Structure 1
Amino acid sequence: MLEISPLTWGVTIGFIVLLLAVDLVLAAARPHHVGFKEATAWSVFYIAVAIGFGVWFGLQYGNTAGTEYFAGYIIEKSLSVDNLFVFVIIMSTFAVPDKHQHKVLVFGIVLALIMRAIFIALGASLISLFSFTFLFFGLLLIYTAVQLFRHRNEDPDIESNLMVRGARRFLPVSDDYIGGRLVAKVDGRRVVTPLFIVLIAIGSVDLLFALDSIPAVFGVTEEAYVVFTANAFALLGLRALFFLVKGLLDRLVYLSAGLAIILAFIGVKLILHWGHVDIDESIPEIPTPLSLGVVLGVLAVVTVASLIRTRAMPDEKAHAGSLTATKVRVEVRPRPGADQEPPH
């Protein structure tokens, strides 16, 4: 186990909070359309930060620790692309105006980080107390992989989300976004705007993604610090990545199948590790460098195969995949004047 000092934890969390604060200030102070050049610049910046941290971490704590971090980061980054699919679906379902999407994504990332921090703490505690937690995590990932593969050509039905339906039922919701506010007064009555419902939808989806991504990264490392930083740096670049690749997501038709393979592979890795620890040391384990190679190989094959497929069949579109069968696919067109201020 690595000896990570409280000072290192504090500086790391402070740095991540600082980056989030900059994003929040920019989103609140200047709502605007994020163009390709801006999205590219931010994406390069966040990838450079993640790589720079990994290099420092490897030099400070050894090559094995550095390899575990980069493996965890790449796994989380690949799984975060599925987040982007769902974010696109949520944005279109609720017709979020383009200039407010920046704010929605930043709040979504903050919610995701909070939920992942909670799950990381719980997961690390369970692993330290019960070695069969690896078996549980492995079976969970394999089950998730099977469900994702079975429903790889479907999209989650956001409108049927329990939390979204509950919010619509018990809260007064305005028709318009009212300048991107979460709560506003309309005709003397306090209401929540659709942006508030969007955040509930993203928060509940983040919760589901945390249930998959945390066990996945524990498949390459048992260090809570590595799990947290890999998640944090992968999520921090999610906002810029959304604006950079949202036009290309429809072409990644095999992504859900690829992610299902990655999750199943890590699930098997966790089960083998449990068997090695609890049953017999002769049971082989999958080393982290091999895991990193498999993940990168699957992502490369999926990307190339998807581009070849969509080039041959331009009308074919990718789907986010779902863990349960969806009876209805929601297709919502933006309402005209969705961001107009209410008449005074």
Structure 2
Amino acid sequence: MSKLYLPEKLVLNQREEDVRPYFDRENTCFCLAFTVNRDDIGIYVGGKEQETRGNCFTAVSWVEDNMCILPIEGVDQWYPRYYRIIKTLTFYLDMGGFVQTGNYEETRFYAQRQRRSPQSDRNDTIEKLEGKVERISKKVLPMDFLLHNDVIRDQKIKLEDGGVYELNPHSEFYRYLCSVSAFNHTTDMSFVYASAYEAKKLQGKAEAAIGVLTFPVKVSELPVVFALQTSLELISFLIAAKNTLKLDEKMFNYRGPIIISDVYYNPFINKKFFDPNAGIEIWGIPEIDKNVSSSSSSDFSKKNELNEFLVLNTTLAQEIKK
């Protein structure tokens, strides 16, 4: 792929062209956080890299999943064929709240929804993978002296062989990132530890520690957290954190992953129009189906939307094991 299209929710001055030319599309997105130990990430203090072994980082990741339906004649639309495009942007913050590294990942594949077996109920379906899974991985590179300044202060990111993007300062992801950074910087406790261990008390503690800063983070209760924890291998695969989330079950309450945003589900409908200048039909601009679109703020709703997304764990099982 010659050009990358980061989610429009995250960056400015860019149309996400790769998800537009489809008859309809289902988009699910959310923000999650977790804590990992990384030996391969250095911490820079005073311009010098410090000891790298066993550093603890708070990771904040935005996940966007696009199921792009392919309108194929003769295919029952109850069991559509589609192109799946999953995009994740992840930043790793040290205990002082400074962004030390980041990466952008894309996972793409064709699939079709099918009955689990010929005798299965109409609603009992699975995803059948078609062809190869395409993986794109780009590291976020520092433009200034420190990556933290690029991301938090200047709101820009430079991807490895992928150009420079301007972060949307009004996006939820940017606000969550700044909030987690501020929490780690102003307290002596990891954000994820505080969230998972004392979820109900976090809001007051964070506001007291950060003061006048806006703290938009919403910590999910156990059903949603458990759904993520049972699919750690999938999360690791999608955000390029393989072998870093192999956590002991007793550590779940301290390390996450946890969802710190609502889970958003937005179906888009698109139409073709005849372009007299070009003499061909072209796709228009996708519009959200407002009758179906939802922001899953309740834990029950979050879990439903999240479970639909985590079905990927079964679909990509062989890829994840590689």
TM-score between both structures, scaled by the size of structure 1:
0.23
**Structure having the larger proportion of residues in strand:** 2
User: Which protein has greater RCO, CA pairs closer than 8 Å, 6+ apart?
Assistant: 1
**Structure having the larger proportion of residues in helix:** 1
TM-score between both structures, scaled by the size of structure 2:
0.24
